[in-house]
Structure 1
């Protein structure tokens, strides 16, 4: 005969429920905040050209038909919106190893840089090898296509540090006879992923003196901190609207915060009319809305509900 199953004592069941609730609460707390996930790779599509390239000559591959190197250097301005929202500069340093009707670019030293006020993204270009060239050479110009990858960079002041990505390039024409004033064209396509910022908001409520206390004009300092690995740009506190009745937001909103490097913090103050005659147990929830983008101007608005406890005394 089956032995009867012993019932769990009520006190033990209550303790188990408390433990389970605490575990679930811990999971909620430990979940990443909104916006913490990485954004999709940013598409890169750049077309650049110049008639001011400089070509110098050097030795080619150590063996095989590519007996010369024609190093093409130059730069081209990029309008705002081509690479991020800022005006930028594209630079090239392309040592074509040439010979007969063929040429090659090797990723060990073929570089394209994309530079603006936030930093520099460097790409390594590859098309073939000394043993199997991937480009065409006419004796005076090079044409063809290949691939590129982002060159790793860890410079702390470079907003594009830690970026990854890959794609293809095309060279419709590049004059490589030795001299100055050489015309070249370059097209890049592919995608890039940059380190993402992650914002957090804390707050401090204060009266700021007896007059504000008497008029019930409360100041709330919102501290906006970038806790993510990537830098944030175009940060704006767009609103901090209180919920419920009895509290009126005075402002000002919106307020520009500006750029926030990883680990940096800035403060803004929003004022409210609160509580009426009674200050005791007066509190409200403000829906703090913050706009931010990453180094490539991808991003959006995040919401940070903050429960504000109104101070009892008029001292700061």
Structure 2
């Protein structure tokens, strides 16, 4: 493992910090089938840095060569598209145990967080131990590599609850001299799984008044329910067309449905011009076309066939 012989110039790191937020064309994903229940794997590749870390000092390990703790905290913004389709924050809380030319991180308290409006994904970092350090230290900066795992979370309001994953990390350099304005860099590589939504569609029909009955304008309320363990985001009703004779879909389509949390339901209404009053047993098949994504905004189309019975009387 090669060690730097001098601290990283802050001006260089400031320039690098701006460039490095061109990160994560990872969490660019192998999309699972829309609405598929279970866990879908995603590559996680992040290279990020900042020049505004803060470092405090405390006691180190109770035994061994690492006699001091240098706790580095900080955060940096992630643009939309880097961690889901939302603007996000990456935060670090890394208590480096340091001593001599060595350092270590313990998964019990070393954390990286990825946070957006939907929730937080927390990673625990590990490199070596008090007895067998896994990182290098030159008196100013810590550098080296290790592993990370997703910290389990079951918070119902966190869209990333139940996530799993693991990988490796590297720290090209992190200035751990006590104070503020400390430059740091971090790279993460691995894969994450998130719980998937599972949509189902039911429907009900209504005329909405005598005029609609006489003009044969039927309203169909499509109820979109999420029966899966994961929340659904960006749900759109793209169409609910029919090829049945004598029936025409009026609309409106497309319609934004929005978020459908696990166990919840949302409704949209589509109108049709249907067969005449004298028709008995009039029915048609609607092809309900949805778009659905998971908490990382990966997903795609989903299709549901519904057989709609046209009410005979003005009041269904």
Q: What TM-score, normalized by structure 1, do the two folds share?
A: 0.88
What CA deviation, in whole Å up to 9, does each residue of 1:183-216 have, x standing for no partner? 0011111111001110010000111111001111
**Higher relative contact order (Cα pairs below 8 Å, separated by 6+ residues):** 2
**Any stretches of 5+ residues in structure 1 without a counterpart?**
1-32
What secondary structure sits across from 1:219 in the alignment? strand
Residue of structure 2 equivalent to 1:254: 254
In 1: Cα distance, 2:309 partner to 2:34 partner? 24
Q: Is the contact between residue 44 and residue 192 of structure 1 (CA under 8 Å) also seen in structure 2?
A: yes
- Greater C-alpha Rg: 1
In 2: Cα distance, 1:279 partner to 1:270 partner? 21
Q: Is the contact between residue 95 and residue 110 of structure 1 (CA under 8 Å) also seen in structure 2?
A: yes
What secondary structure sits across from 1:302 in the alignment? strand
Residue of structure 2 equivalent to 1:30: none
Q: Is the contact between residue 48 and residue 78 of structure 1 (CA under 8 Å) also seen in structure 2?
A: no
Q: Please give the residue correspondences for 1:33-112 in structure 2 after superposition, counting only pairs within 5 Å.
A: 35-38=35-38, 40-112=40-112
Asked if 1:152 corresponds to 2:152, the answer is yes
Q: Is the contact between residue 106 and residue 126 of structure 1 (CA under 8 Å) also seen in structure 2?
A: yes
Task: Supply the RMSD in Å over aligned alpha carbons.
Answer: 1.3
User: How far did 1:311 drift?
Assistant: 0.4
What CA deviation, in whole Å up to 9, does each residue of 1:254-300 have, x standing for no partner? 10000011111111000000113433200000010111000011111
In 1: Cα distance, 2:144 partner to 2:44 partner? 19
User: How far did 1:159 drift?
Assistant: 0.1
In 1: Cα distance, 2:34 partner to 2:41 partner? 18
What CA deviation, in whole Å up to 9, does each residue of 1:60-101 have, x standing for no partner? 111011000000000000111111111100000000000010
Residue of structure 2 equivalent to 1:264: 264
Q: Please give the residue correspondences for 1:268-307 in structure 2 after superposition, counting only pairs within 5 Å.
A: 268-307=268-307
Q: Is the contact between residue 37 and residue 228 of structure 2 (CA under 8 Å) also seen in structure 1?
A: no
What CA deviation, in whole Å up to 9, does each residue of 1:18-41 have, x standing for no partner? xxxxxxxxxxxxxxx984343530
Which of 186-195 and 272-281 deviates more? Answer: 272-281
In 1: Cα distance, 2:276 partner to 2:46 partner? 59
What CA deviation, in whole Å up to 9, does each residue of 1:206-237 have, x standing for no partner? 11111001111000000001111100000001
In 2: Cα distance, 1:63 partner to 1:153 partner? 32
Q: Is the contact between residue 279 and residue 310 of structure 1 (CA under 8 Å) also seen in structure 2?
A: no
Residue of structure 1 equivalent to 2:4: none
What secondary structure sits across from 1:40 in the alignment? strand
What secondary structure sits across from 2:76 in the alignment? strand
In 2: Cα distance, 1:77 partner to 1:223 partner? 37
Residue of structure 2 equivalent to 1:231: 231
Q: What TM-score, normalized by structure 2, do the two folds share?
A: 0.88
Q: Is the contact between residue 207 and residue 314 of structure 1 (CA under 8 Å) also seen in structure 2?
A: yes
Residue of structure 1 equivalent to 2:245: 245
In 1: Cα distance, 2:65 partner to 2:144 partner? 18
Residue of structure 2 equivalent to 1:25: none
In 2: Cα distance, 1:145 partner to 1:297 partner? 30
User: How far did 1:165 drift?
Assistant: 0.4
Residue of structure 1 equivalent to 2:120: 120
Count matched residues.
284
